[in-house]
Amino acid sequence: MIKLFRRSFVAGLLSLGLALLSPPVAQAQAQGTDTILVLDASGSMWGLVDGQSKIAAARQAVDSILSKWNPADRLGVMVYGHRSKGDCKDIELMIPVSKFDPARIKAAVDGINPKGKTPIADSLRAAAEALHSTENKANVILVSDGIETCAPDPCGAAAELKKAGIGFTAHVIGLDVADPAAKSQLQCIARATGGVYLDASNAASLTGALTKAVAATQGTKVASEAPPKPAAADPYLGKNIRGVARLAEGLDPISDEDVNWGIYKRAGDEKGEHVNTFYGAPFADNIAPGDYVVEVSYRQLKREFPLKVEKGKPAALDVILDAGYVTSEGSVAGGAAKVDDVVWQVSDKGGRLIAQEYDAVPRFVLAAGSYVLTLTKGQSKTSKPFSVAAGDSSNVQLSLDVGKLIVTSTYAEGGPKVEKDIVVAVRQPAKADGDEGEKVAQEYDAESRFDLPSGSYDVTAVVGEAKGTVRAEVKSGAPTRINVNLNAGVVGIKADGAQEIDILSAERDLNDERKRISVSYDAAYNVALSAGDYVAVAIYADGHKVEKPFSIAAGKRQTLEIKQ
């Protein structure tokens, strides 16, 4: 049922878009066209297609239609399921049929928060009533991802409206409709009113289907994808086991390929040997008579149910999962962008990890209960407690404080750039002089990128023995670019026969000693050094040492050969 709700809401949104493009310009100018966009705002609209919620896909589709709408035609917007979770009377004419106002329509659609049921039939009746007072041609565009959840026969209601003499036509788009019964019902609505039915398998094809439906409202002949008559064959004929799953008691069956039915032989009160696995819901197949345990897996959820199959008798599984759908469209504080490259984690109230997702918009199926949702991007993290009731479809809104820090390095002011062998560390500012702040993150790329909470950081780049530090200010929702100037160069030292090469500072301390900067146990050595004066010392097997002073200039390379 929930999935059906999703479909209906999308249908409504798309219907909005379709309605937006009305009959041919010539006719519209001569007579005018009245259209109501019936938007489905049932809870299932938080379901996902191609990595985004159906409500987001529908909003995008409606936006694309608004730019093509004939401003001479009148448009209204009707929404159902957006105010109450279980009310079949939750139908609202948000914008009466009136002069086209794209800003008003966009604001209405953007403000919809899906949560309720899918009263398709009553919404069509309400739309027809709103259109009844006009002599203009009347259109309704409906986009749905599922089946009616309140009235028994929306197709019959559509046929009655067509006979009412108001020129009522409903064009219907089925979004990701897998349930044969749901698709048949939607096709029947279009067929009964003389409209077209179009399939949209994913978010990408939704705008295309909507564009065709708009063309149909403008008088262009568009081929309907509905068969002349509904298929009469029973897709489950000859099967001895059928299974449906519901999120909660009284809801419509789930229609989703992600539901798996693992069949195991019963071993006492436990599941024993695995027999078979069936995929999708609803499903129908054949299985040998016997006593079984069925493990129903639906994304993050697992439930076990007993099953007895008797010879010559079909077995029907109708299971209640006592669960709900949860999604989240995380946003970045201080910016309009949605978060990506993220980790979503759901934990129970005791802190135990329940589920983990990596999509920009996740979808969880969770048992009724209390949880905590955590969103992480790089070093930024935010959490929010939430609850799930059986049958719920909800969206948990999270805003993440995160900015992008992009770090490059150069050997000298203006270049050349450091291309390899670099270590970039981000630390909290030191609390006392001479101390290093707590390390936050570390990368090794010539252009290192960090996702960080807003604030101040010390960024240190190290190449060889050269080191530079820069203070960075990160803002949420915005990129920050910094360059660390190492003020360094590179020396290449060759000392044939040497067992060790030491690089010392040229200056001696109060104890007449020079500080060791670096050491290599090869006869050839390349190393980056901060600009300054140094002494290279080659040490041979017999203990003999040869010293050679040299200087490093920022951005330059020099070679040094030491002979015994």
- Distance from C-alpha of 539 to C-alpha of 147, rounded to nearest angstrom: 85
- Distance from C-alpha of 297 to C-alpha of 300, rounded to nearest angstrom: 7
Q: What is the mean pLDDT of residues 28-43?
A: 71
Q: Is pLDDT of 30 > 50?
A: no
Question: CB neighbours (10 Å) of residue 407?
Answer: 25
The CATH code for residues 2-217 is: 3.40.50.410
Give me the pLDDT at residue 232, please.
Answer: 53
Give me the pLDDT at residue 532, please.
Answer: 97
Tokens for 88?
A: 């079949």
Contacts of 103 by beta carbon, 8 Å cutoff, 6+ apart:
none
The band of 12, judged by pLDDT with boundaries at 50, 70 and 90, is: very low
- One of 3.30.70.600, 1.10.10.10, 2.60.40.1120, 3.30.365.10 is the CATH number of 488-561, namely 2.60.40.1120
Check for a shared fold between 324-400 and 403-485: yes
Contact (Cβ atoms closer than 8 angstroms) between residue 24 and residue 55? no
Q: What is the mean pLDDT of residues 474-490?
A: 97
User: In this predicted model, which residue has the larger pLDDT, 415 or 51?
Assistant: 415
Region of 174 (left: φ > 0; alpha: ψ -120 to 50; beta: rest) is beta
Least confident of 24-33, 91-100, 314-323, 503-512: 24-33
Q: Is pLDDT of 253 > 50?
A: yes
Q: Is pLDDT of 493 > 80?
A: yes
Which is nearest to 184 in space by CA: 141, 234, 140, 221? 234
Q: Is pLDDT of 544 > 90?
A: yes
The CATH code for residues 324-400 is: 2.60.40.10
Instruction: Look at the domain 403-485 and name its fold.
Output: Immunoglobulin-like (2.60.40)
User: In this predicted model, which residue has the larger pLDDT, 551 or 219?
Assistant: 551
Give me the pLDDT at residue 210, please.
Answer: 80
Q: What is the mean pLDDT of residues 148-170?
A: 82
Question: CB neighbours (10 Å) of residue 349?
Answer: 11
Q: Is pLDDT of 203 > 60?
A: yes
Q: Determine what percent of the chain is predicted with pLDDT higher than 70.
A: 91
- Distance from C-alpha of 219 to C-alpha of 222, rounded to nearest angstrom: 9
Q: Which helix (H) or strand (E) holds 91?
A: strand 91-99
Q: What is the mean pLDDT of residues 265-281?
A: 93
Least confident of 7-21, 510-524, 544-558: 7-21
What are the extents of the domains in the chain? 2-217, 241-321, 324-400, 403-485, 488-561
Least confident of 95-109, 192-206, 289-303, 500-514: 192-206
Give me the pLDDT at residue 233, please.
Answer: 59
According to the CATH classification, is domain 241-321 in 2.60.120?
no
Q: What is the mean pLDDT of residues 180-192?
A: 85
Give me the pLDDT at residue 310, please.
Answer: 93
Q: Quote the distance between the C-alpha of residue 221 and its chain's center.
A: 36
The band of 420, judged by pLDDT with boundaries at 50, 70 and 90, is: very high
Residue owning tokens 């239609």? 65
Q: Is pLDDT of 7 > 70?
A: no
User: In this predicted model, which residue has the larger pLDDT, 316 or 473?
Assistant: 473
Tokens for 471?
A: 């203070």
Q: Is pLDDT of 31 > 60?
A: no
Give me the pLDDT at residue 40, please.
Answer: 84
The band of 228, judged by pLDDT with boundaries at 50, 70 and 90, is: confident
pTM of this prediction exceeds 0.85:
no
- Distance from C-alpha of 376 to C-alpha of 542, rounded to nearest angstrom: 59
Contacts of 158 by beta carbon, 8 Å cutoff, 6+ apart:
121, 124, 170, 188, 189, 192, 193
Residue owning tokens 């604001």? 107
- Distance from C-alpha of 21 to C-alpha of 15, rounded to nearest angstrom: 10
Mean pLDDT estimate for the chain? 87
- Distance from C-alpha of 495 to C-alpha of 562, rounded to nearest angstrom: 5
Q: What is the mean pLDDT of residues 332-352?
A: 88
Which is nearest to 380 in space by CA: 441, 430, 321? 441
The band of 70, judged by pLDDT with boundaries at 50, 70 and 90, is: confident
- Distance from C-alpha of 251 to C-alpha of 320, rounded to nearest angstrom: 9
Q: Is pLDDT of 181 > 80?
A: no
The band of 377, judged by pLDDT with boundaries at 50, 70 and 90, is: very high
Least confident of 167-181, 259-273, 344-358: 167-181
Least confident of 339-343, 522-526, 557-561: 339-343
Tokens for 235?
A: 């897709």
Q: Is pLDDT of 414 > 50?
A: yes
Give me the pLDDT at residue 130, please.
Answer: 87
